[in-house]
Amino acid sequence: MAAEDGQPEPIKGDPATDRVTGHADLIEQAQRLGQQHRAAGIAPFGDAGYVFWDEGSARLLGALGVTSPTADDNAPARFRVVDAYCDALGAREADDTEPGS
- What are the residue boundaries of the structural domains of the chain, listed by start? 21-95
Nearest by Cα to 16 from 29, 3, 7: 29
State how far the Cα of 57 lies from the Cα of 48, in Å rounded to an integer. Answer: 9
pLDDT in tens, 17-31: 444 457 889 999 999
CA angle 71, 77, 81 (to 5 degrees): 115
User: Whole-model pTM?
Assistant: 0.67
pLDDT tens figures, 52-100: 877 889 899 999 999 888 899 989 999 999 999 999 998 645 444 333 4
